[in-house]
Amino acid sequence: MEAHYAAIEWHVCVLIVCSSAPAQQINSSTLRLKYGQPLDRETFTVRPEVEIRVDYGPAKQACAILLPSGMAGVGTPSPDVITRDQMKEIWDDLVPAAVRGQEIKRGVIEVGILKTVYTEYEFVNIDEHFKSGMGTGIVVVFKDSACQKQ
């Protein structure tokens, strides 16, 4: 019986030693050494259940804004569904016509089940991405020269 308990004690000791061995830590220093400085980025909740992500440039200017697409539908949507029209209101509020400038061109790029509807303005590009007909996100990219260097 003592041999049985001794074997159990040995297994417990092995488990403790193995589990207490220092694991390689992944932290900001490790990632910065490997990949360089991260983007300056913030996430904002602009409405319940709607978050946007803003990437900033070196002078703290907005360089890109990522928004959800919102759902397209027919009829009156459920109150907990964010519609494409509501997302358009948010993007019009964030990037009004005066900030966008004159529209230069618009188009559609389709590759298999992926589709991008793009609009190029004087000062920004706005792309809406779709997969199998479902919106996957809207990206607003500012044409600031400092942003392009990142």
User: For 45-81, how does the pLDDT look when each residue is reduced to its tens digit (9 = 90+)?
Assistant: 888 778 889 999 888 899 999 988 877 655 565 666 7
**Residues 6 or more apart from 115 whose CB is under 8 A from it?**
108, 109, 129, 130, 131, 133
Query: How many Å apart are CA 86 and CA 105, to the nearest integer?
Result: 24
Instruction: Taking residues 121-133, report their average pLDDT.
Output: 93
Q: How many residues does the chain have?
A: 150
Q: Give the per-residue pLDDT at 79.
A: 64
Query: How many Å apart are CA 42 and CA 57, to the nearest integer?
Result: 12
Instruction: Taking residues 8-16, report their average pLDDT.
Output: 44
Query: How many Å apart are CA 12 and CA 18, to the nearest integer?
Result: 10
CB burial class (10 A; 0-12, 13-18, 19+) of residue 142? buried
Residue 103 CA, chain-centre distance (Å), reads: 26
